């Protein structure tokens, strides 16, 4: 528990946490620049502008990099500075890696959620109206995108909570993916590049039919529907959670190899 608290402080109080958040916000602002600039003549509500930028425009590339920046490169930093050797004299390999994975997941997920909140506030500032049912757009998306039925029912707060929970899990997965890849490369920048490159490769696999569209890991958290409310969230958490657990096991094996080679 002490190791986890220390890692969480490193992850969440680091300037890199805010850098990662800023990368995501700037990417989303770039994707929405045309819609936001047209605010004077457009009737599009704030949530629609948010959706167009976040769910399209290849925003997963910015999200992946931003989620990884806060802490995914921390293992390489420990290895480079010799802190890894010191920490492993105080605790087991499994506890060290578990604290590292959890702190990385929390920082990545928190960066994504904070960036979404900031960007949505910007959209509201330009549009004024959070969500409008007048156009019929949201009703047409029910059953196709997660949690949208809550918007139609007027339960915007619950929609926001479930959406943010899904994006937190998404960011956690991307950050841990970067962490584990960096453990093989032993190069911190690999942690930031891995979600970017991996996202492009994975989308290509989906596009050529080698992976099902509704389980596209780059869009699963905001683009796939598996039932109302908590049912969809449970599937999203199950898919990403299983992958994080698998990556933790891979990381534990790799940690043993690194230790045996370096110590």
Q: pLDDT tens digit string along 44-87?
A: 888 999 999 998 878 888 999 999 999 999 999 999 998 998 88
Please check whether residue 4 is in contact with residue 106, taking contact to mean a CB–CB distance below 8 angstroms: no
Contact by Cβ (8 Å): 119, 53: yes
Measured at the CA of 211, the angle between CA 206 and CA 212, to 5 degrees, comes to 95
pLDDT per residue as tens digits for the range 94-137: 999 999 999 999 999 999 999 999 999 999 988 878 888 887 78
Percent of the chain, pLDDT > 70? 97
pLDDT band at 39 (very low <50, low <70, confident <90, very high): low
Q: How far apart are CA 230 and CA 251, in angstroms?
A: 30
- pLDDT exceeds cutoff 90 at 31: no
Residue that is written with structure tokens 């962490």 in the block = 179
């Amino acid at each position: 528990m002490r190791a986890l608290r220390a890692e969480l402080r490193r992850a969440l109080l680091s300037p890199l946490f805010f850098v990662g958040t800023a990368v995501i916000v700037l990417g989303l602002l770039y994707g929405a620049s045309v819609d936001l600039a047209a605010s004077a003549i457009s009737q599009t509500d704030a949530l629609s502008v948010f959706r167009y930028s976040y769910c399209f425009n290849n925003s997963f590339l910015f999200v992946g990099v931003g989620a990884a920046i806060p802490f995914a490169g921390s293992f390489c930093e420990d290895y480079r500075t010799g802190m890894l050797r010191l920490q492993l004299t105080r605790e087991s390999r499994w506890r060290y890696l578990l604290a590292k994975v959890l702190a990385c997941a929390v920082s990545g997920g928190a960066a994504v959620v904070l960036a979404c909140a900031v960007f949505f506030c910007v959209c509201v500032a330009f549009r004024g109206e959070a969500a409008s049912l007048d156009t019929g757009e949201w009703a047409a998306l029910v059953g196709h995108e997660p949690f949208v039925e809550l918007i139609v029912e007027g339960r915007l707060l619950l929609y926001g909570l479930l959406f943010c929970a899904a994006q937190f899990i998404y960011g956690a997965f991307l950050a841990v993916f970067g962490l584990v890849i960096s453990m093989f490369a032993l190069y911190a920048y690999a942690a930031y590049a891995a979600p970017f490159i991996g996202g492009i490769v994975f989308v290509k696999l989906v596009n050529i039919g080698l992976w099902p569209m509704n389980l596209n890991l780059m869009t699963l958290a905001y683009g796939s529907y598996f039932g109302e409310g908590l049912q969809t969230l449970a599937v999203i958490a199950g898919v990403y959670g299983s992958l994080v657990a698998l990556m933790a096991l891979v990381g534990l094996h790799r940690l043993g190899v690194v230790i045996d080679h370096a110590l």
